[in-house]
Structure 1
């Protein structure tokens, strides 16, 4: 007999039962796009609709998703609204570049993020996780309340800085997480002018003040580049062979321009750690409400650490830790929407013979937020159930019903890096501490560039009891 409690259902918007009007759409998208979607988005395989006089296809069917993102990916470009939001920040960084610029950048960076190369980062990930865990030492028997959203941003940034930039990012602020949050708050949200497809030169009221914080990030990147270029000129043999050096050596007619290199460094410094950080915080929150999950993770962590296994092997040796993180990303996908636009007329035929016609210019919305909570594809879709991702169960999950890292040519280049980082960080933190949710603390998910807790995520951090 299964005596486990009913699985925890973390906070999330309830699907709408009445379609919103035009003004309500604008207000909701500005406030929190996650609150926009209605019942059909969570129950139907696809929906054809009009969104501000624009033909839109909301896609949930895994086969249709594969068609758009993989099989006929060349027919689908980045949607205009996505670029209106992201290009002012990242310009020709990997997330926003298209055509030849994207192909050059992706090809150049691919060697750094191959699974084999990413495994080489495990030692630095472990060292940074241990160093950060010391922040919670001497917290006393009652523990200490911390904003885990901030803490995980700081930890993920420390790992990214050490692994990809050898600790050479020239920051002027100890609270780098505040700078990132400020940037995303000012620049990483939909403005009403974006919905109306106003040209980029039309001012976005919601981004007033954003230019200043973006300029601060650009200065960090320029100073970081200058410091490393000086090191390379002085003694190339003593210069770290890391991601930063690789990018700077691509400067030239056959590689990337200095502006493109700057854009890519900004992309990784500003956004490269943000997705992992958010997923770590949401995972710790969900685990705190699921004692049987926490117990299984702690037992697994203790057992693996007792063997002296190298951190490079933890991803394979800790399936419960990995499953909890993957379930955290299912419920709170770091990138909650994937937007495309059809270049030419297209069509797709479902297994039952139904044909979906896609006219040129149609906006395609593939939304991990609704897909990951969809009634057709998940049992108890709103519940935190990491067992879905354990080795004996994960074969039931269709490749294109779970998209925390996207899919196709533009799949996240750092997926292996992020998974390894998350398992190592969780294992180190949970081997020493427990993270307990505060009574009445129900963090509300908000979509900016990532899925964030609206008012932070305060939790009580305690020294983990032994033999409990």
Structure 2
């Protein structure tokens, strides 16, 4: 009799059973905040304590999360600690801007991410992926985490910037890893809410890399401005052009334009890259899931040439990607801070408290998920999706500041997975021992070295 294999449980820190000392906590937060949380954090609807930086509320209850991110969002600003980490990198980009600056930026970018534009990006996404996978023709071992960073960079450059980013992508991938290794970490002074003017030694090492990215932006803007002057009617109406056209007295400043370019070149592709890498890894460890997904992809590619239809036509592939997003949310923490104190269902939230909505914890909460640490894509199969509360699954956030590029990322991911898994098989090796580490995103420490081999099937469509 056939029995279903036990689900794969991918690597993750075990919840702590004893609280750390203050010094140990600061070391953990700098090294890997994912290792900080205790068993009670994964079982309680919320945690309210006073820490070294002041009051702290960890929000796990979907109703409380909805209250903070949606129902009473006006009373919550971006948390001080989060801004201390991100603003030196992104300044007034969409992820870190607030108030009127955020409203102007969101309005300027909204036209790029309408369904019509998203569908228009599908063919360039497909084209770039087909060009990218030729590197695997000879087989061998490759770091898939690094590769997915390059692939999503290629797609971002082609779709949002029409291939006009002033840099060579190989050096880009190396530099962005260094940027997140240095400036993307929590500094002990951040926890203590020290003044911004006090130097963070952990970020001094990242200044050269930050200058590198700023030079990319300056070169990218300069190239597009020159093209606008030469041929204003022939310039693509992409993300870059729309940002430049939004520049002016009632729109974006030049600094805001550059900050948003940095945000999308840096953080905008990084999240999808990490999610793709974790998905491929989990499928390699869960061969029974991979077999079903390969069959689905082969069948769809054989009958459906239009990549805009793949997201809906591949529910198993989508479910695997969404389950990887659950286990390894690219943005593992959403940080807010109340402007005024309030009480929610008996929970008192003082003014200036650090309110943490952590997808990493919420997605693994014992009271919200069955077997929360296991890789089980069936959670997201069409017949099961209604069982998942909107506010217990937050890979793209929620509320007014929900990720503007969520639909872009989902379409990109399914197209990439369809091409990668239709042509090649990715298997773990003895060196594949990833450990999730929180920097700006949930990254696999040590990378994802995997064996790549040609599948050799003949039933996928000729054109791909």
Q: State the TM-score bracket (shorter-chain normalisation).
A: over 0.9
Please state whether the residue corresponding to 2:77 is helix, strand or coil.
strand
Give the C-alpha shift of residue 115 in structure 1.
2.5
Match of 1:312 among 308, 311, 316: 308
Q: Does 1:108 align with 2:108?
A: yes
Give the C-alpha shift of residue 173 in structure 1.
5.6
Give the C-alpha shift of residue 138 in structure 1.
2.5
Give the C-alpha shift of residue 309 in structure 1.
3.4
Matched residue, 1:368: 359
Give the C-alpha shift of residue 238 in structure 1.
1.1
Matched residue, 1:421: 412
Q: Does 1:412 align with 2:408?
A: no
Mapped to 2, the partners of 1:343 and 1:267 lie a distance apart of 26
Mapped to 2, the partners of 1:53 and 1:320 lie a distance apart of 44
Q: Aligned-pair RMSD on alpha carbons?
A: 1.3
Matched residue, 1:55: 55
Please state whether the residue corresponding to 2:393 is helix, strand or coil.
coil
- Deviation digits for residues 195-243 of structure 1 (CA, Å, limit 9, x no counterpart): 1111122111111221111011001001100110010011101111111
Matched residue, 1:191: 187
Change (3 A) 1:381 1:345: same
- Deviation digits for residues 77-119 of structure 1 (CA, Å, limit 9, x no counterpart): 0000000000001100000000000011001111111223211
Mapped to 2, the partners of 1:466 and 1:145 lie a distance apart of 20
Q: After the TM superposition, which of the residue ranges 98-107 and 49-58 deviates more from structure 2? A: 49-58
Please state whether the residue corresponding to 1:280 is helix, strand or coil.
helix
Q: What TM-score do you get using the length of structure 2 for normalisation?
A: 0.97
Match of 1:381 among 362, 372, 378: 372
Please state whether the residue corresponding to 2:170 is helix, strand or coil.
coil
Tell whether the 8 Å contact from 2:69 to 2:399 is kept in structure 1 after alignment: yes
Matched residue, 1:217: 213
Change (3 A) 1:2 1:253: farther
Mapped to 2, the partners of 1:208 and 1:278 lie a distance apart of 25
Matched residue, 1:146: 142
Mapped to 2, the partners of 1:321 and 1:330 lie a distance apart of 14
Mapped to 2, the partners of 1:376 and 1:56 lie a distance apart of 21
- Deviation digits for residues 168-200 of structure 1 (CA, Å, limit 9, x no counterpart): 000046332111101111210011111111112
Mapped to 1, the partners of 2:447 and 2:343 lie a distance apart of 43
Mapped to 2, the partners of 1:369 and 1:83 lie a distance apart of 20
Matched residue, 1:7: 7
Mapped to 2, the partners of 1:78 and 1:20 lie a distance apart of 27
Alignment of 1:272-291 (within 5 A): 272-291=268-287
Alignment of 1:160-179 (within 5 A): 160-172=156-168, 174-179=170-175
Give the C-alpha shift of residue 440 in structure 1.
5.6
Q: How many residues align?
A: 459
Mapped to 2, the partners of 1:64 and 1:326 lie a distance apart of 23
Structure 1 residue ranges (4+ consecutive) displaced by more than 6 angstroms after TM superposition:
none
Give the C-alpha shift of residue 348 in structure 1.
1.8
Give the C-alpha shift of residue 161 in structure 1.
0.3
Matched residue, 1:352: none
Alignment of 1:29-428 (within 5 A): 29-139=29-139, 144-172=140-168, 174-349=170-345, 355-428=346-419
Match of 1:443 among 434, 437, 440: 434
Please state whether the residue corresponding to 1:174 is helix, strand or coil.
helix
The answer for unaligned runs of 5 or more in structure 2 is 460-464
Mapped to 2, the partners of 1:467 and 1:41 lie a distance apart of 49
Give the C-alpha shift of residue 53 in structure 1.
4.7
Mapped to 2, the partners of 1:364 and 1:153 lie a distance apart of 31
Tell whether the 8 Å contact from 2:150 to 2:169 is kept in structure 1 after alignment: no
Mapped to 1, the partners of 2:62 and 2:116 lie a distance apart of 29
Mapped to 2, the partners of 1:145 and 1:200 lie a distance apart of 44
